[in-house]
Amino acid sequence: MEAVKPWILLFSILLLFSHIFILTTLAEGVTPQEAKLLRDEVHGMFYHAFDGYMENAFPLDELRPLTCEGEDTLGGYALTLIDSLDTLALLGDRERFATSVEWIGKNLRFDINKTVSVFETTIRILGGLLSGHLIASDYATGMKIPSYDNQLLHLCEDLARRLLPAFDTPTGIPFGSVNLLHGVDEHESKITSTAGGGTLTLEFGVLSRLTNDPIFEQVTKNAVRGLWARRSKLNLVGAHINVFTGEWTQKDAGIGTSIDSFYEYLLKAYLLFGDEEYLFIFQEAYGAAMYYLYNDPWYVEVNMDSAAIVWPLFNSLQAFWPGLQVLAGDIDPAIRTHTAFFSVWKRYGFTPEGFNLATLSVQHGQKSYPLRPELMESTYWLYKATRNPRYLDAGRDMVTSLQYGARCPCGYCHISDVEFHKQEDHMESFFLAETVKYLWLLFDLAAGSDNLVENGPYKYIFSTEGHLLPATPQISLIRERCSYFGAYCNNDDSRQDSRTLDLSTDHQENNSQLYKGWDPSSSPSDNTFREPTSISGSMKGLCPGLTHGQKFGISYLASTDKKPYEGESTSQKEATVVPTQSAVIVSNPDAESTGQREVTVVQSHSLAVVSNPEIEFSQPDDKNDHDKDQGLIEEELESDLSQDIDESA
């Protein structure tokens, strides 16, 4: 298996030289004026597809863009319209956004005898409705609908309650599918993917905060704990697991298919909710991924127990990873990996579902490109972080490929074979929810951004479906949203007797528990929730204190040359100290009695101390060979190409 790595080295060198050639042959890159034209072109792409859907497929789920017909693919409830809601708002289309929200509020129902994917229904339908509600109900977004009366939020709560039976398993990890009318079928498969069980926290967590009902957040957090408790001693998770026994049925660990968004939601749940437990798990999981899966600049799949390589494969779902690394503050490897991934796009005009790094060819049976957004997403985030014009050039190439290879009479077609650009009569709803959204944001940022995301009242977290989830006080500071003068905690008093808010996200009282690992063989029941505490409605004044993370801001992983596990003792915990800076608004509660409030701005330096779990890590037998080959790759790439890479960067 080690013979694979020279091929990876050779192909990396060829791709890097190819990328340098591409950069030097482009004229002067994308100018601000051209960025405006490209933004307008992407705007037209959205409406070509959206109008095609509305005129030929609505209210069916998705469009068949070659034959201009519709089809039900998920549940038969206007999937593409729901998935497109926040893109309409982002583009400033008040009329169509309001009309769409009104139609959905009046016509959408979930009391139907349909068996649906818990994962897809959550990220597409629940996420789309939540994002639409948060935009339509808030004057600060500029898209407030005067007649709107929380219809989408009521639909969200109804849908989520119909999904809850899927979580009734011994491990807490949900079934993959559930019937919206009858619950889980007795013959339903007990096997689910890691992504399917671990990519529900954002949508369900936001819903808990909007409804003051902790059950939604509790079940999804328990699912994450159930998965993480069964990680290997290398801190890796597999691809598929039995939700009853907790046994892994597929032990291939990677960052792509079946696992990808598990990593994504660990970090984003921390960023949105401030829950340090998610940050701790992410840092442990990310460190293991970078140590065992990263073959600079590519990522491979390995056995979760031994770290032996099982797949030297780039699959298109991996392309989200550089964007996630930007959010984690790990920019350098993100740049190199994006360069490698984009070189595959340049070779074929699209990214195939699988590209074999050993044979340097499209993986058999994985030749399609179903209009996936992940590479566009990473391109947007890297441009936002670096403002390097190479990412605008990349975006322009992607627009060109889509316009000349995928555009068809009523929308944009799947590409069934990237080598021959053969079109297929299907358009996924995520093309409108994500693919064109990230391209539009990329060029709008270059042209001088004026949109909800860049200039709006809140910072936004993008869900894995590209839906906009704002970091409002109600969502991000559930216990602190009345901590500034004149603010109110607007809870529904009528629910306080029967529903309480889960405060397990506050780790001030027992920070030591935060950094303790779970035994991989332990049951999720060992990780109990803290007792929920009710919060009275309509409070004015000072709420309980900020959590550690909220006090000191977001602490990112430090970029170091040292391997995360290099030189690590098997019986000792190693602490990594990451310095950050933040400004904290501190209110003096003693001033309340005098009728005044003293506010002090404190400039603070924070330390995020991350400890490895208190378990013994067993290193794979081939660790030294792994380090040797990895060092060889890095040494040869640095000696042969360092000057060219620096110039291209």
pLDDT at 493: 40
Residue-wise pLDDT for 143-186, tens only, equals 999 999 999 999 999 999 999 999 999 999 999 999 999 999 99
Per-residue pLDDT band for 29 (boundaries 50, 70, 90) equals confident
Alpha-carbon span 270 to 426, nearest angstrom: 36
Among candidate residues 217, 374, 425, 444, the one labeled active-site is: 374
Between 233 and 514, name the one with better pLDDT. 233
Over 80: is that where the pLDDT of 567 sits?
A: no
Dist. CA 612–CA 137, nearest whole Å: 43
157 is catalytic: no
d(CA 9, CA 340): 12
Give the SS3 label for residue 255: coil
Q: In this model, does residue 641 exceed pLDDT 90?
A: no
Residue 486 vs residue 374, higher pLDDT: 374
Residue for token pair 């990996």: 337
* Average pLDDT score over the chain: 79
In the numeric block, the tokens 């949105």 are attached to 272
Residue 120 is a catalytic residue: yes
Question: Using one digit for the tens of pLDDT, what is the confidence trace for 32-72?
Answer: 999 999 999 999 999 999 999 999 999 999 999 999 999 99
Question: In the structure encoding, which two tokens stand for residue 21, read together?
Answer: 């050639």
- Ranked by mean pLDDT, the top range of 339-348, 491-500, 609-618 is 339-348
Give residue 478's pLDDT: 60
Q: Which residue has the higher pLDDT, 612 or 305?
A: 305
Higher pLDDT, 26 or 99: 99
Is pLDDT of 227 > 70? yes
- pLDDT tens digit sequence for 377-387: 999 999 999 99
Phi-psi region of 241 (alpha: psi -120 to 50; beta: other; left: phi over 0): beta
CA proximity to 534, closest of 494, 566, 589: 494
Task: Please state, as a whole number, how many other Cβ atoms lie within 10 Å of the Cβ of residue 573.
Answer: 15
Q: Is it the case that residue 595 has pLDDT exceeding 80? A: no
DSSP 464: T
**Mean of pLDDT values over 569-579:** 34
* Mean pLDDT on 426-438: 98
pTM, 2 dp:
0.75
Residues tagged in the binding site annotation for Ca(2+): 464
* 620: preceding bond cis by omega (within 30 degrees): no
Count how many residues are written for the chain: 649
CA–CA distances in Å: residue 560 to residues 290, 367, 557:
12, 37, 9
Question: Is the confidence at residue 645, as pLDDT, over 50?
Answer: no
Judged by average pLDDT, the poorest of 15-19, 128-132, 221-225, 386-390 is 15-19
Is residue 73 within 8 A of residue 61, CB to CB? The reply is yes
Residue pointed to by tokens 């991989």? 520
**What's the confidence (pLDDT) of residue 383?**
98
Q: How confident is the model at residue 479 (pLDDT cuts 50, 70, 90)?
A: low
How far apart (Å, rounded) are the C-alpha atoms in residues 326 and 223? 26
Q: Among all chains, which residue has been given the structure tokens 């890479």?
A: 645
Catalytic, 374? Answer yes
Helix or strand or coil: residue 118? helix
- Please name every residue paired with 554 in a beta bridge, in sequence order, or none if there are none: none
- Give residue 537's pLDDT band: very low, low, confident or very high (50, 70, 90): very low
3-state secondary structure of 388: coil
Digit-coded pLDDT (tens) for 337-393:
999 999 999 999 999 999 999 999 999 999 999 999 999 999 999 999 999 999 999
* Catalytic residue chosen out of the listed positions 86, 120, 284, 502: 120
Residue 582 Cα distances to 246, 470, 477, 479, angstroms: 41, 20, 17, 20
Please tell me which residue in 86, 157, 217, 353 is annotated as part of the active site: 353
The average pLDDT across 611-615 equals: 36
Which tokens belong to 193?
């993917």
At residue 599, does pLDDT exceed 50? Answer: no
Q: Which residue has the higher pLDDT, 589 or 386?
A: 386
Choose, from 93, 203, 260, 480, the residue flagged as catalytic: 260
277 is catalytic: no
- Placement of tokens 């029967």 in the chain: 498
| HEC string for 367-385 | CCECCCCHHHHHHHHHHHH
φ, ψ for residue 457, nearest 5 deg = -75, -15
pLDDT tens for 83-127 read 999 999 999 999 999 999 999 999 999 999 999 999 999 999 999
**Tens of pLDDT along 267-288?**
999 999 999 999 999 999 999 9
Give 601's strand partners. 585
H or E element that contains 390: helix 390-401
Kindly state the DSSP code that residue 509 receives in the 8-state scheme. Answer: T
Joined together, the tokens standing for residue 382 give 């890297």
Lowest-confidence segment of 80-84, 222-226, 363-367, 623-627 by average pLDDT: 623-627
Q: What is the pLDDT of residue 486?
A: 37
Q: What is the reported pLDDT for 449? A: 87
Q: How many CB atoms lie within 10 A of CB 270?
A: 23
CA 582 from centre of chain: 25
pLDDT confidence of residue 96: 98
pLDDT above 90 coverage of the chain, percent = 67
Q: Which of 641, 35, 647 is nearest to 391 (CA)?
A: 35
> What one-character DSSP code corresponds to residue 502?
-
- Among residues 23, 486, 6, 525, which one has the least CA distance to residue 230? 525
Give the tens place of pLDDT for each residue, 410-429: 999 999 999 999 999 999 99
Which pLDDT score is estimated for 28? 57
The answer to whether residue 551 scores a pLDDT higher than 50 is no
Please tell me which residue, 31 or 281, carries the higher pLDDT value.
Answer: 281
Tokens linked to 366:
């994985």
Instruction: Note whether 262 and 550 are within 8 A (CB).
Output: no
- Residue 594: what residue type? T
- C-alpha dihedral (385, 390, 392, 397), degrees to nearest 10: -140
- CA 483, CA 541: separation in Å to the nearest integer? 6
Q: What is the pLDDT of residue 477?
A: 81
The predicted structure's pLDDT at residue 467: 98
